[in-house]
Amino acid sequence: MQYLVVVTMLLARVGSSGPVTGQYLEDRSNRVYGCPCEWSSEYVSYGREAVLAWKIASGEYEDENLAGLRLAAVLAGEMTLSVSTSPRRSTLFVDANAPLAQRRAGVAWLRSQYNEILGHVVGVHEAPIEFKLDTDSASLRVGDVLEVRMRRANLLEDTPSWASLLYDPFIELRSATLGTTLNNEYNGEPDLLMRWTRHDAAITGYYGTFSIR
């Protein structure tokens, strides 16, 4: 009888854990929506860098509540990251204002869920992270290292009329909005040994919501 009670309690706990849900931002160094000429010109030389960010609304990992945690990743590939087999490195950022146990669980969750996307993680850093997302815009700031500003894409103004969707988001989203990136600045850190500044408005990313079990 005691064995059955324990098993029932464990099953109830597993069943009630629910998915990890939240908001997501993605910006790449190539267009995700554009015309064929842009695709062909960017495929070889562009798209080797990307910024990803998560703001978790609910869910647990390793018995730790992740709600409210913010995470970000900077990716650098040997060729365009739009090819899933492209070797890549990444550096991760976790919100310095979160409790230590939550930070550790959040990084472990990120690596367990997105190992192939992140590739070889060369560093994990703590920094204050601001992540804002609404219907018409999204923004990310990671300390004084990284800043991304994006607005909802206007297909009539931001790209030629014959353009089409070139790439889906890296991760499966419950809702996805094409984003026109207005600013992407990465000041670099010791891990990736690179930095960039982009101010040319282009449809290079997405923002939206995710739900993952």
At 53-82, the pLDDT tens digits run 999 999 999 999 999 999 999 999 999 999
Work out the pLDDT band at 39, boundaries 50, 70, 90.
confident
Query: How does pLDDT run across 174-205, given as a tens digit for each residue?
Result: 999 999 999 999 999 889 999 999 999 999 99
Express as a percent the part of the chain with pLDDT over 70. Answer: 92
Query: How does pLDDT run across 75-126, given as a tens digit for each residue?
Result: 999 999 999 999 999 999 999 999 999 999 999 999 999 999 999 999 999 9
Full-model pTM:
0.90
Express as a percent the part of the chain with pLDDT over 90. Answer: 84
- Measuring CA to CA, which residue among 144, 213, 143, 138 is closest to residue 183? 138
CA dihedral 34, 37, 43, 49 (to 10 degrees): -40
Check whether domain 20-212 has CATH 2.40.400, yes or no: yes
What DSSP designation does 44 have? T
pLDDT at 8 over 50: no
Stretch 16-32: mean pLDDT, rounded?
Answer: 91
Output the pLDDT for position 108: 98
What DSSP designation does 174 have? S
Work out the pLDDT band at 10, boundaries 50, 70, 90.
very low
Q: How far is it, in rounded angstroms, from Cα 74 to Cα 49?
A: 7
Work out the pLDDT band at 17, boundaries 50, 70, 90.
low
What DSSP designation does 3 have? H
Work out the pLDDT band at 13, boundaries 50, 70, 90.
very low
Q: Which residues pair with 89 in a beta bridge?
A: 76, 120
What DSSP designation does 37 have? H
Mean of pLDDT over the chain: 91
